[in-house]
Structure 1
Amino acid sequence: MSMSVIKEPKSEQRELELVRITHFSDAVFAVSIVLLILDIKLPEIPDAVPVADYMTYLRPMTMQALVFLATFIFMVNFWRRHLQLFRLLHHQDNGLVSRNLFFLFFIITFPFAARAMVHIKPHFILPLFIYLCNLAGCLAAMFWMAYYAFQKKPSLTAPGHYTEKEIMYQRYKYNFLTMATGFTVISMVYFFFPDNVHYQYLSYWIIPALALFNYFRLKIKKRNTLRAVHIVDKQL
């Protein structure tokens, strides 16, 4: 009785599968970005309305346009980071595929989160939490993929580029920690001070403050890493 043996995919086949993953991810990004613009429509303005009152009808569309612009910038930035990460990969496995799908889930839900932001009110901030949760999910998934590829399964990555891999991993980690910490602080402020509008507005600044702090922290780490590599090269 013969037993079938599952052969390990060849290197060329693994590279082709990696290309398929990248193309599928690009298609998800493209469709999700297109879906963002579909909800932005010019309002119906009656003929009798004077020009001075047009802003009353255009104000909701203005809010939609601002949310679209911010979400477009976020999604393009995530696509660019996704491209940078996959440019350093040489192979793929089921773990990487699963983490990539987890990341694409939050990309797909971005149009819904952006659409919900239009309904935000002073006493109904659930859309804001949905949007921040979506951002945190994307950053968590990017960090999860970077940790898996660069720390847990470095054999999936192309040889060399050690400095670039380390800096990229640290960047994704800092970005995730920034959003996770900011989201937690904002949630706690709304929970403990539900009627204090000043504290609530002030809590929004925690995310850009942490982002600025981690930006300079990463620059220092990058400079120290490059300096260490330069010293090693001189010694060799």
Structure 2
Amino acid sequence: MSMSVIKEPRQEHKEFELERVILFSDAVFAIAITLLIIEIKLPHVPEHLAPGEYSKVIQPFVFEFFTFVASFAFIGNFWIRHLQLCRFMQHYNIGLVYRNLFFLFFVVCFPFSAAAMMHLTTNFVLPMFIYLGNLAGCLAGLFWLSYYVFQRNPGLAIAGHHTEKELLYQRFKYNFFTVATVFTTLALSFFIFPDGMTIQRLSYTFIPALVLFNYFRIRIKKRNTLRLVHIGDKSS
């Protein structure tokens, strides 16, 4: 009885397969960022509309376009971070592919989340939580990818560049925990105090405060890491 043996792919085949993973990711980014603009259309302006009523017609369009710009910026930033991560990768395994698909799932959900924001009202805040959940999912995917590559399977990454890898990993980690904390805080304020408008409005102020805190925390981490590297170079 003859038995078939699956041969280990050659190095050039592995490089080509890793390139396919990256090219597929780029295609998903391109499609998601293109779909954002498809739903945006100029508002219908009735004839003989009074000049003072133009703002009521234009206001939904302005909010829709602002959501598009914000979503475009988010997806673009995620693509840049994904590119930075891919710069360090030299191999792949099935675990990396699954985690990359997890990240891309939330990227491709952005057109839906952006469209859902058009239904946001004072009494219906579910679209806001959908959008924030989408952001948190993307950041969780990046954090999970960086943890898998840099912490659990360092052989998937190129040798050296320990400082750059650590700083990128810390950035992904802090960004994810920041958005996750914002999401949790807002959810608790709205669902525990559904009629507490004051508490709900105060919870919004938590967003810029936490973003600034995260920004300075990353800068301090970067400065301390570079200082340790500098001290290590001197001692050696």
Q: TM-score, normalised by structure 2?
A: 0.96
Q: What code does the residue aligned with 1:203 have?
A: S
Q: What code does the residue aligned with 1:90 have?
A: Q
The alpha carbon displacement at 1:160 in A equals 0.8
- Aligned partner of 2:17 in structure 1 is 17
Deviation per residue, 1:180-205 (Å, 9 max, x gap): 11111111111111011121122123
Aligned to 1:118, the other structure's residue is in SS state helix
CA distance in 1, matches of 2:3, 2:230: 54
Deviation per residue, 1:19-65 (Å, 9 max, x gap): 11111111111111111111111122122113442222111111101
Residue 140 in structure 1 maps to residue 148 in structure 2: no
Aligned to 1:205, the other structure's residue is in SS state helix
Alignment of 1:23-62 (within 5 A): 23-62=23-62
CA distance in 2, matches of 1:78, 1:204: 24
Aligned to 2:119, the other structure's residue is in SS state coil
Q: What code does the residue aligned with 1:200 have?
A: Q
Deviation per residue, 1:133-180 (Å, 9 max, x gap): 000000000000000000000000011110000000011000111011
Alignment of 1:50-199 (within 5 A): 50-199=50-199
Root-mean-square deviation over aligned CA pairs = 1.2
Moved over 4 A (4+): none
In the alignment, structure 2 segments of 5+ residues that lack a partner are none
The alpha carbon displacement at 1:234 in A equals 1.7
Counting matched residue pairs gives 236
In the alignment, structure 1 segments of 5+ residues that lack a partner are none
Q: What code does the residue aligned with 1:120 have?
A: L
CA distance in 2, matches of 1:8, 1:204: 54
- Aligned partner of 1:227 in structure 2 is 227
Q: What code does the residue aligned with 2:145 have?
A: M
Aligned to 1:198, the other structure's residue is in SS state helix
CA distance in 2, matches of 1:77, 1:43: 29
The alpha carbon displacement at 1:125 in A equals 0.3
Q: What code does the residue aligned with 1:12 have?
A: E
CA distance in 2, matches of 1:10, 1:125: 53
Deviation per residue, 1:80-128 (Å, 9 max, x gap): 0000000110111101110010111001110000000011111100000
CA distance in 2, matches of 1:129, 1:123: 13
Q: What code does the residue aligned with 1:137 have?
A: G
CA distance in 2, matches of 1:119, 1:163: 44
Residue 213 in structure 1 maps to residue 213 in structure 2: yes
CA distance in 1, matches of 2:77, 2:208: 16
Q: TM-score, normalised by structure 1?
A: 0.96
CA distance in 1, matches of 2:60, 2:223: 46
Aligned to 2:2, the other structure's residue is in SS state coil
